Chains A and B, each alone.
Chain A
């Protein structure tokens, strides 16, 4: 409430001061400013407008939040602090060739960057699948759009769940045994 009206009044105050008479303004600071520098300094005529501050719509905020969620759940803070390699490597004992290792094994609380990002993507995909299911049940759309939303949603959820289970089984060998 306060910031919005504040910026508007500042805009109107500066606009009012330049063309209409300013005796109607009751702002003492404005009166002081009128006398002290601006009685002998002439303010230039600018066409600038103060940036108006409007709140973004809920869905815009939601998409930004989804992005932040993706970063947090991928272990972004872990990546920044511990600085693991993007992908691990192991040396094949027989041939001596270097093979990449995607999942850091042996600990629950450790990851390489790529595995974190891909898992985070799966989680967000599952969430979006459920959202699309809800959009599919919305009444005000054409039937074909609803059907495509439904299929996309269901397939997203299924893919996300299956991949996440696969990832966790690779990472923790004794999972569910």
Chain B
């Protein structure tokens, strides 16, 4: 494009702007890619901000409050105090060694961000940093997904993967702003480790393997789900060995990652020596030894020139290696040095285990198996694209595609066993779906692009040129095919836009509620906010003595310590089943026995959650049967059939007498019999259960009511000291 030099100024300007805008194709492509990635980065961040805009910048749920409290402690007291912290404010009177029983990755990350911002003279509050950590790391995950997609397939797949994972509800559910939980950082670390490992296997470079070891260290420091990595990677190596893809690159990558990763992981106190002692980590060690055997046999084969000798040697070596490995495993397991699989992970392999043996694990709603609608809710179109993507991966098998297929299948199976693990499967599903989208769109656009070439038999340039000879014969159907391809591309665009609409709707309606603040629609359609939890916790903070001990069900422990700043008996860590069972027994006994238990635990206040006035269904009466089961698991005096009538759990007149007089019933329904909750219904109508309660005249002997929040959701009772003997 020649610039004419007629009038120097304006034309120079014209030609300058034209010339500078006319980029080469490679630069155009780079510009498009960078701008897409930038937009996806911003999109991933802002899609998660619904609850901050609707309510306020606060921490959601239960577990994040513990993480927030520890991060606050870290920023105030420094790292060494944090690492050696013994907390006497929870699990009274046992206390908890916090430094040795948590995964510090999340707290250290948030503290580093906080200190960086302070260094740059942005004096933000640590709470804001905590709230926004998850969206920030979600944006980073999209970038890693782009590079991962590029590694597995090509840049187009990487871009689609980044876009899909930015708004996928399966990931958003645990990484909204305010959800300050381990998974916020852990999914980023997981994908980073996998990407670096696949890169190491593809290139065979020691540097990438070292990177993957450090990525693994970050993952171990962030989440207990690192066990998935330490079992998936050896399984992948095993599959590669079986399919005959052993190579030096694989050897270098796996050895470096395993050894260095294991050594680094032992730096976390909570993990300790589990990598050599726990049954869940033995698979990795076994595959490590198998790799050494493979390398040794390869070297011997190279040295020997005699195949018959080598075959004999092969037989002996393999037999002896398997024997020695088996004996070592047997001795280790029998002597107790290698501990068996813990209940949490064993229930993934045998899903019926938790239901029969460990009620605490079975009671968590996130641990239930997954129904089809949860999959649809969290994945939408990706459920169609996933099998298609698998097909494309199988068409073009390579080391990297084998990895993503294995990751996708194993994580999808585990997601089927436990709803919470849909989160772990999300990156794999997004990546494989991106492969399907990219391959399909590539096919369709190559159909389109061949039409632009005049069909000459000899032309060999341009895309899809191998079709040019066949195009001569298909001359009549060209416009039809071109229209068909355009129609299909419009269809693909339509499906992806429906996906985006679905994701936005799901994020806005289902996954952006803080759980600590409840919202409901009033009679006139206006929104009513119930802030009862925080009201109760602040009442505790301001109106009870500083050394007061609060007894409540374990769900609320973290929130009480973080916001109420008081000592609790049990909290969400659930590390001591007997202690929780003691509390469960107290809640389900008659008031006199419960009073003895409460005196033995030094309890000053009891806190219960009651949803009968508002219709809130996640209250303690609905959780009551779990208290009975867990208590009955340790104390056989508590029997579940005592509280049921014909196998049914009732609170109305037909309820069992033990139910009508147990402590939980009394505390929840004290003075409730006088309250009219709904127009046209008798007094004492429980809106959450939909029945009129059976025992309205409740008298408390050893407790007295201390505080009930404005919507009766949280009720606090004071334990009276024993009466003086006369």
**Interface contact A130-B314, CB-CB below 8 Å:** no
Residues of A within 8 A of B397 (CB): 58
Q: Does A94 contact B (CB under 8 A)?
A: no
Q: Which residues of A contact B289 (CB under 8 A)?
A: none
A119 touches B385 (CB 8 A): no
List, in ascending order, chain A residues with CB within 8 A of B297's CB: 2
Contact status A73-B416, CB under 8 Å? yes
Contact A75 B370, beta carbon cutoff 8 Å: yes
Do residues B352 and A139 form an inter-chain contact, with CB atoms below 8 A? no
Within A97-113, the residues touching B (CB, 8 Å) are 108-111
Q: Is B224 close to A, CB under 8 A?
A: no
Which residue in chain B gives the minimum CB-CB distance to A129? B384
Report the stretch among B236-244, B262-270, B589-597 that lies at the interface: B236-244
B115 sits at the interface (CB 8 A): no
Q: Does A81 contact B (CB under 8 A)?
A: yes
Complex CA–CA separation, A6 to B509 (angstroms): 59
A1 within 8 A of B: yes
Do the beta carbons of A126 and B314 come within 8 Å of each other? Answer: no
Q: Do the beta carbons of B369 and A58 come within 8 Å of each other? A: no
For residue A168, CB closer than 8 A to chain B, the reply is yes
Are B370 and A6 neighbours in the complex by a CB distance under 8 Å? no
Instruction: Say whether A111 contacts B373, CB under 8 Å.
Output: yes
Chain B residue, CB-CB nearest to A66: B387
Q: Are B373 and A108 in contact (CB under 8 A)?
A: yes
Which of A34-42, A43-51, A85-93, A154-162 contacts its partner?
A154-162
* Docked complex: B308-323 residues within 8 A CB-CB of A: 308-309, 311-312, 314-316, 318-319
- A19-44 vs B, CB cutoff 8 Å, 1 = contact: the mask equals 00000111111000000000000000
- Contact partners of B370 in chain A: CB under 8 A: 75, 77-78, 109
A71 to chain B, nearest CB (A): 8
For the complex, would chain A's binding face be called helix, strand, loop or mixed by DSSP majority?
Answer: helix
Are B470 and A139 neighbours in the complex by a CB distance under 8 Å? yes
By a CB distance below 8 angstroms, the chain A residues around B373 are: 108-111, 119, 168, 171-172
Residues on A with C-beta less than 8 A from B311 are 5, 9
B684 CB → nearest A CB, Å: 25
- B443 lies within 8 A of chain A by Cβ: yes
In the complex, the answer to whether B369 meets A130 with C-beta atoms within 8 Å is no
| CB-defined contacts of A1 to chain B, threshold 8 Å | 241, 244, 246, 294
User: Is A6 a contact of B409 with CB atoms below 8 Å?
Assistant: no
- CA of A75 to CA of B314, assembled, Å: 45
B356 to chain A, nearest CB (A): 11
> Nearest Cβ in chain A — how far from B615, in angstroms?
14
Residue in chain A with minimal CB distance to B371: A111
Which residues in A have some Cβ–Cβ distance to B below 8 Å?
1-3, 5-6, 9-10, 13, 24-29, 55, 58-59, 61-62, 65-66, 68-69, 72-78, 80-82, 108-111, 115-116, 119-120, 123-124, 126-131, 133-134, 137, 139, 143, 150, 154, 157, 160-161, 164, 167-168, 171-172, 174-176
* Given contact pairs A76-B416, A131-B391, a sample of 8 additional A-B residue pairs in the complex whose CB atoms are under 8 Å apart: A6-B315, A62-B390, A109-B370, A123-B384, A124-B387, A127-B386, A127-B387, A143-B477
